[in-house]
Amino acid sequence: MSHTSRLFSFFVFHLFVLPSTVSTAADTPPTTARIDSLISLMETTACDQDSLTLLYYGEIKGSLSGYPRGALKALEQLGKMKYCAGDLDSAIYYYRRAAQIGLQHDLDAESVKLLNRLGFYFQTAGLLDSSSYYLNKGLLLAQEVGDSLYIGSSYVGIGILYQHKGQIDRALDAYFQALRIAEAIDDKPLIITAKLNVATIYYDHQPSKLKSSDFLELLDLTRIIGDQQREVSVLEWLGYLKADSSEFDEAVAYFNLGLKVNESVRDQNSEILLLQGISYAYNLAGDHEQSIATNNRVIELARSSGYELYLPSMYVNNVSNYLALGRYREAIQDGLLAVEAGKKSGQVELYYKVLQDMAMAYNYLNMPDKAFETQLEYTKLSKAILDAEKSRQLAEMQTKYETEGKQAEIELLSREAAIQRLQLSKQGYFLAGLIVLIVVIIGGGVLIYRQRQLKQQQAITDLELAETKKRLVVEQQYRASELKALRSQMNPHFVFNALNSIQEYIMFNEKKLAGKYLGKFADLMRIYLNHSQARAISVPEEVEALSLYLELEKLRFEDALTYEVIMEEGADDDEIKLPALLIQPYVENALKHGLLHKKTDRKLTVRFSYLEAEAMLRCEVIDNGIGRVKSAELNQSRNERHKPFATDAIKSRIELINFNSEKPVEERIEDLYDDTGRAAGTHVVISVPKGAIVDLEV
């Protein structure tokens, strides 16, 4: 049996261990102290007494609205309860709600922990793209916080993700990053985790580096620090090493010991991996019937618990057993299931080799056409995997070449300038010596003329160098500003809020509304991606995007928002253009910093008009929010660290658009006041001259 079928059996994900209390007695009011106590009780009952956990939550549910940290910890315990019960979808739901609270209220430490855990759960469910999003978001936040433990733990999760995708070099680099950090801070749980994950790669690619004695030392270390979760993982490793050494009884004994320790941990993920190890040992021992029986038990457990990531390897194991028993039809049946599960989870490199076994089974059943068809599919997939790897390497080489080429151009001009300066210096000495020695007016005049000529050449060379550098810097800044604008429109908070609202429609069985808004969300993402490829768009295109965006944002305000997008006559001419990705960030700022803090009567108007006499497109964003002064006070009181997007990034982008432009784009922001002098909103005006769009090329 090949190692490929159990490539991911030993993954150990480093989950954070934070104190069970959520605040200190010194700064905890009596009401929050009671909430903290009940959350601590939830933590002790989450995995074995669901009814008590829900009872404790019911006691504090009504008091959590003014205590974000308590709300986050309570939702985390509900997620833990669902995870222990094998309900992975519900666990993900509660952890996402908790992470949303953490990010909204700058609870960075808790947020990193939750993002890391979400990445693990999405990996377990086979949703690798979602896992990548949360793991990388967690790593960025961990680096911002500056906590080495969080950074190292995030690297472990990212390494596992790379390993699932078959990017072994990147996975190994991420694991060693985590190990270096763990050893630097002497965090023993993280050291164990990093070493175990490095071993998963060595097992398939450099098995000679693995020794049972190393794992026995790790086993002693897990028992010294009392870490049963990692003790289970080390026991699983020892089981596999004994099985590969043909010590099958000892292998099964280690796996069963791991199951016994896991009774206290109650981790279904570990239970699945240990049972899969027992099936593997029986397979190597030649007891294929027992191996199949154990493996089918694992498949049912994985299906019922939502651990679909492991299904491809389990079906591959069954194919190996059925072939050994001569049960070729069953081998083909489970082979098809392995291919289906592998395609669903994106694990092509794990399942494609089983196609060879299926071709062999078809051949034994005297079905040459199916055997040829299956073998052909295997050949195509092998070529596709090889081509993909070559394409990735070629893309990396091309990027490196282009970067080095631009740098070489600058260095060449710099060297030429240095040579010119050296020549100038030498010529000056020559001229002085010639005047002293010859004292010939004609000769001196010639040398002076030559010196001036060299100075002019030097000035021209320096100017060319400065212009080249300036052009490259402006181009990089403009590309960066376009990327910032796209990120603003597709920012994680908006995407998360929109999908969360759609999820609530689904949970409340409002399928038509869920389908309607999911379609609108997909349309908006498509429009944003299309706009990101264009320098300029027409007013109708901008109106379409803003209308979809505001309709989805209205879900967040629970219909307590009135808006209108007006396109006056003359502005709908396709020849009238405005820069792509320019207006939406102003609308977002109006919602987030003006209207969000207002409870009722929220109004927003976006108007596009064309001033014929001035040949000018006028774009207005008007809200009746709390105004910029009050918003700044609120942000300061909340220790807000992030400035509105339009304040800095859009200002920089407009400056880049206006670079060397005779028709600049202008921005004007006015504070609105009522008759009593109270703030009544904000009025933003963006003026785009007709024809100015041609100046956007840098």
Q: What percent of the chain has pLDDT over 70?
A: 78
Are 523 and 637 in a shared domain? yes
pLDDT of 580 higher than 70: yes
**Least-confidence region, from 238-242, 456-460, 537-541:** 456-460
Range with top average pLDDT, 3-7, 44-48, 416-420, 475-479 = 44-48
Are 56 and 168 in a shared domain? yes
117 vs 164, residue with greater confidence: 117
Please list the residues that pair with 536 across neighbouring strands: 579
Are 476 and 548 in a shared domain? no
Distances (CA, A) of 85 to 91, 121, 230, 267: 9, 14, 20, 9
**Owning domain of residue 197:** 1-210
Whichever domain contains 78, its CATH number is 1.25.40.10
Give the C-alpha separation, 597 to 625, whole Å. 8
Are 565 and 639 in a shared domain? yes
169-192 tens-digit pLDDT: 888 899 899 899 989 988 888 888
Q: Count CA atoms within 13 Å of residue 625 on its CB side.
A: 29
Q: How confident is the model at residue 486 (pLDDT cuts 50, 70, 90)?
A: very low
Are 440 and 497 in a shared domain? no
Query: 3-state DSSP call for residue 576?
Result: coil
pLDDT of 498 higher than 90: no
| Mean pLDDT, residues 502-513 | 74
The closest of 481, 482, 495 to 531, measured between CA atoms, is 482
Q: Does residue 304 sit within a domain?
A: no
CA 406 to mean position of chain CA atoms:
30
Q: Give the per-residue pLDDT at 50.
A: 85
Final residue belonging to a domain, choices 210, 243, 277: 210
Are 141 and 7 in a shared domain? yes
| Mean pLDDT, residues 122-147 | 85
Are 626 and 533 in a shared domain? yes
Those residues with Cβ within 8 angstroms of residue 224's Cβ, 6 or more apart along the chain or in another chain:
none
pLDDT of 487 higher than 50: no
pTM of the complete model? 0.44
How many domains does one find in the chain?
3
| Mean pLDDT, residues 143-148 | 85
Round the average pLDDT of the chain to a whole number and report it.
79
Q: Give the per-residue pLDDT at 20.
A: 37
Are 680 and 548 in a shared domain? yes
Q: Give the per-residue pLDDT at 470.
A: 62
**Least-confidence region, from 9-23, 50-64, 463-477, 669-683:** 9-23
Q: Does residue 311 sit within a domain?
A: no
Burial state string for 475-491 with b = 16 or more CB within 10 A and e = fewer than 16: eebbeebbebbbebbee
63-88 tens-digit pLDDT: 888 889 999 999 999 998 888 887 88
- DSSP codes joined into one string, 578-616: EETT-SHHHHHHIIIIIITT--S--EEEEEEEEETTTTE
Are 513 and 475 in a shared domain? no
| Mean pLDDT, residues 154-168 | 84
584-598 tens-digit pLDDT: 889 988 888 888 888
Q: Give the per-residue pLDDT at 101.
A: 92
639-698 tens-digit pLDDT: 555 455 556 677 777 777 777 677 888 999 999 998 898 989 999 999 999 876 644 443
Q: Does residue 197 sit within a domain?
A: yes
Q: Does residue 533 sit within a domain?
A: yes
Q: Does residue 251 sit within a domain?
A: no
Q: Tell me the residue ranges of DSSP E strands in 252-295.
A: none
Q: How confident is the model at residue 411 (pLDDT cuts 50, 70, 90)?
A: low
pLDDT of 403 higher than 50: no
Side chain identity, residue 374 = T
Q: How confident is the model at residue 311 (pLDDT cuts 50, 70, 90)?
A: confident
Q: Give the per-residue pLDDT at 526.
A: 86
Q: Give the per-residue pLDDT at 640.
A: 52
Are 550 and 679 in a shared domain? yes
To which residue do tokens 């509304």 refer? Answer: 513
| Mean pLDDT, residues 230-241 | 87
